[in-house]
Amino acid sequence: MLRFVGAYIIVTGRDSGFFEAESRRLVPVAGPLEGRVAFVTGGGGGLAEGICASLAADGASVAAVDVSREKAERVAELAEANGASAVALEVDVSDRSSVEAAVADVARELGGVDILVNNAAVYPRRAWTEIEEEEWDRVMAVNLKGYFLCARAVYPYMKERGRGNIVNVASITFFVGWTLLLDYVASKGGIVGFTRTLSREVGPDNINVNAIAPGAFPTDAEKIHPDQEGYNRWVLEQQSIKRRGTPEDIGNLVAFLASDASSFISGQTIGIDGGWMMR
Ligand SMILES: NC(=O)c1ccc[n+]([C@@H]2O[C@H](COP(=O)([O-])OP(=O)(O)OC[C@H]3O[C@@H](n4cnc5c(N)ncnc54)[C@H](O)[C@@H]3O)[C@@H](O)[C@H]2O)c1
């Protein structure tokens, strides 16, 4: 990674007071995630774009893993533009063999797995009385079981390394309660419990596990709302900070939780919603 390094030089002189000079040059600097490998599910999605870019900018190699190969490739290319090694894989996180094969491929190709970002989700919007049993099972399989399968698959690699960071993407909807998304919201609540208990299970292996609860971000997920302008206005009314959140905001938080700077934080669910939901 190349970063500007600046030195501010003050030279004092007997007669003339002092001279001031600033020198700036580009030097290679090791990022906080240099040498780490990140496995990001839902890796072709809107928030994943910010997540993969931030991890890459901090020096991590990134595997963008998505049920859509095309979407994963787009995000992996963006991460590569940030100077990282990046690969794209087509994986259904609800399918154990697909997950295990992908984790093994990534470990072989990029040299292990240090960071897992569980981010894949589906979010069908309809009245709760219209949810078919198979649809309920599908939402749980992707949004909750998928998180377990990925954590289970990366665990041996993290244990072998003697450290690891797991970040689970939950949602503000769990804390608020959100109509027309009953199965989705239930799955997001499950992620909070999953995060707490997994944190206790793997803490002794020096692996920290945290969740983030995003508010509203303008990705494909938001397109489920019929009145986009009205929704945008309503979101800004809810937030303390009067701008819309961006994938970069999410990326910054995930990169922090994936780094050693967060090594004493575990089992937490951190809201990132512009000061909307306060707990
Ligand atoms: N955008 C928001 O406002 C918002 C708010 C709260 C939480 N979230 C959460 O953030 C995460 C990312 O959402 P997003 O907004 O980027 O939406 P998105 O639809 O852009 O991304 C989700 C990605 O998951 C992928 N995916 C779906 N099923 C999969 C499967 N079986 N296996 C692998 N990948 C699969 C999709 O192809 C998609 O690329 C989700 O967990 C979502 O619940 C988003």
> What's the confidence (pLDDT) of residue 82?
77
Per-residue pLDDT of 131-157, as tens digits, reads: 999 999 999 999 999 999 999 999 999
Q: By alpha-carbon position, which residue is closest to atom 17 of ligand 1?
A: 221
Share of the chain above pLDDT 70, in %: 90
- C-alpha dihedral (65, 67, 68, 74), degrees to nearest 10: -10
Spacing of C-alpha 100 from chain mean position: 20
Cβ–ligand 1 contact at 259 (below 6 Å): no
Share of the chain above pLDDT 90, in %: 85
Q: Is residue 213 within a helix (H) or strand (E), and if so which, with residue range?
A: strand 207-214
Q: Is 184 a catalytic residue?
A: yes
Mean per-residue pLDDT, 108-114:
97
- Look at the chain and count its residues: 279
> What's the confidence (pLDDT) of residue 83?
82
Cβ–ligand 1 contact at 221 (below 6 Å): yes
Per-residue pLDDT of 16-38, as tens digits, reads: 444 455 556 655 678 999 999 99
Cβ–ligand 1 contact at 250 (below 6 Å): no
Per-residue pLDDT of 152-195, as tens digits, reads: 999 999 999 999 999 999 999 999 999 999 999 999 999 999 99
How much distance in Å is there from the Cα of 111 to the middle of ligand 1? 26
Mean per-residue pLDDT, 66-93:
95
Mean per-residue pLDDT, 77-82:
90
> What's the confidence (pLDDT) of residue 100?
98
29 versus 269: the higher-pLDDT residue is 269
Nearest ligand 1 atom to alpha carbon 119: 41
> What's the confidence (pLDDT) of residue 24?
63
Cβ–ligand 1 contact at 213 (below 6 Å): no
Cβ–ligand 1 contact at 169 (below 6 Å): yes
Asked whether 96 and 122 are in contact (CB, 8 A), the reply is: no
Nearest to 164 by CA among 94, 211, 112: 112
Per-residue pLDDT of 198-257, as tens digits, reads: 999 999 999 999 999 999 999 988 888 889 999 999 999 999 999 999 999 999 999 999
In the chain, what are the domains? 32-272 (3.40.50.720)
Number of alpha carbons in the 13 Å side-chain half-sphere of residue 75:
33
> What's the confidence (pLDDT) of residue 278?
94
How much distance in Å is there from the Cα of 48 to the middle of ligand 1? 8
Nearest to 65 by CA among 82, 83, 51: 51
How much distance in Å is there from the Cα of 244 to the middle of ligand 1? 18
> What's the confidence (pLDDT) of residue 14?
47
> What's the confidence (pLDDT) of residue 1?
57
Q: Is residue 32 within a helix (H) or strand (E), and if so which, with residue range?
A: none
Instruction: Provide, for the chain, the percentages of residues in helix, strand and coil under a 3-state DSSP scheme, each rounded to the nearest 5.
Output: 45, 20, 30
> What's the confidence (pLDDT) of residue 251?
98
